[in-house]
């Protein structure tokens, strides 16, 4: 299948996010609310979980049969690993205690849904080898676009200049990941009505927001509230508008349904009030 995505160029441009010039000693100079730090931990957990997602993906037939999948997955996992490490380093620089074995603890606490997803994607790849890649690529596009949008919100909501620099560098790579997933999904969905049906059914049955499964439901809800203002913000609609452009996914409203079903609303102003952090520091 011909793709508009240049995999060779993608591989040549791939690498760890650049952090050598970051003034880590200045990180604590800009206060962050506890809610912002909780959102950052969510990002760290989600990005660091890529290793486990890759574990499930490489067991599927298309990971070997599709010529572009294996190189992309290798570069994708490498870059995502360094995204998680960047947030880990940032939080440590800020003074947050992060256990070195946080990844092992995260994996041990993963929900049953994560285990079912691994089994499900393997079975789908065996039963529907021609159509399953479309479903996986659409799923990946949703998660990558959600993550990219979340970083734009994180920059605005924290006002931390060093964090902004790190996020913008990560966002460039996330956008390239999204481009691969999106173009692969677009072409495969356009060429097959069955792929559209399988993708729609898979998403409606099993999709949840990025990070869900490796983090608690409370942490998922907090992230969607802190970053997107839940059902009362505009970010959710922006994400869904982009995904609805994919053939057969004109119906996509799963993120809206998730925030509404879980009662996720606008974040309180106190979550962004950095003056209370400064005041607490003075009193201490």
The per-residue pLDDT for range 160-181, each reduced to its tens digit, is 999 999 999 999 999 999 999 9
pLDDT of the residue at 119: 74
Strand partners, 212: 215
The parts of the chain modelled with pLDDT lower than 50 are 1-3, 280-284
Give the HSE-up count for residue 96: Cα atoms under 13 Å, Cβ half-sphere: 21
| 176: CB partners within 8 A, 6+ apart | 10, 13
Superfamily of domain 29-283: Ribonucleotide Reductase, subunit A (1.10.620.20)
pLDDT value at position 1? 43
Confirm if 227 and 157 have CB atoms less than 8 A apart: yes
H helices present in 49-192, as ranges: 50-57, 61-65, 69-94, 102-108, 112-127, 132-158, 161-190
Q: Residue 239: enclosing H or E segment and its boundaries?
A: helix 235-243
Instruction: Give the torsion sign (CA, 58, 61, 62, 65).
Output: positive
User: What's the confidence (pLDDT) of residue 231?
Assistant: 95
Q: What string of H, E and C letters represents the secondary structure of 241-260?
A: HHHCCCCCCCCCCHHHHHHH
Taking the C-alpha atoms of residue 115 and residue 81, their distance in angstroms, rounded to an integer, is: 21
Distance between alpha carbon 97 and the CA centroid of its chain, in Å? 23
Alpha-carbon distance values, 161 to 21, 84, 152, 275 (Å): 14, 19, 13, 16
Residues 138, 249: Cα–Cα separation, whole Å: 9
Helices vs. strands in the chain: H and E counts, helices first: 14, 0
- DSSP state letter for 231: G
Please state the domain extents for the chain: 29-283
pTM recorded for the entire structure:
0.89
Consecutive H or E run containing 219: helix 217-228
Identify any residues that bridge with 215 across adjacent strands, giving them in sequence order: 212
Taking the CA atoms of 128, 148, 30 and 264 in sequence, report the sign of the dihedral they define: negative
Helix (H/G/I), strand (E/B), else coil: 212: strand
Residue labelled with tokens 């059914």: 201
């Amino acid at each position: 299948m011909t793709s508009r995505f240049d995999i060779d160029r993608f591989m040549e441009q791939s690498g760890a996010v650049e952090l050598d010039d970051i003034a880590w000693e200045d990180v604590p100079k800009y206060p962050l609310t506890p809610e912002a730090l909780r959102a950052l931990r969510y990002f760290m957990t989600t990005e660091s979980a890529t290793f486990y997602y890759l574990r499930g993906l490489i067991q599927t037939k298309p990971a070997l049969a599709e010529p572009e999948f294996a190189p992309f997955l290798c570069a994708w996992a490498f870059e995502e690993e360094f995204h998680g490490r960047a947030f880990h380093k940032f939080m440590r620089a800020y003074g947050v205690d992060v256990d070195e074995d946080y990844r092992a603890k995260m994996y041990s606490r993963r929900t049953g849904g994560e285990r079912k997803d691994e089994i499900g994607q393997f079975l789908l790849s065996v039963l529907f080898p021609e159509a399953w890649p479309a479903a996986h690529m659409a799923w990946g596009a949703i998660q990558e676009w959600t993550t990219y949008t979340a970083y734009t919100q994180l920059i605005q909501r924290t006002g931390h200049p060093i964090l902004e620099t790190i996020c913008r560098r990560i966002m460039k790579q996330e956008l390239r990941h999204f481009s691969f997933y999106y173009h692969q999904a677009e072409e495969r969905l356009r060429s097959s009505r069955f792929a559209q049906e399988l993708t729609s059914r898979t998403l409606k049955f099993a999709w949840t927001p990025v990070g869900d499964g490796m983090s608690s439901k409370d942490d998922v809800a907090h992230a969607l509230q802190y970053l997107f203002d839940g059902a009362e913000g505009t970010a959710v609609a922006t994400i869904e508008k982009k995904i609805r452009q994919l053939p057969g996914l004109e119906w996509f409203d799963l993120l809206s349904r998730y925030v509404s079903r879980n009662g996720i609303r606008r974040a309180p102003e106190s979550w962004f009030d950095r003056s209370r952090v400064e005041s607490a520091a003075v009193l201490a």
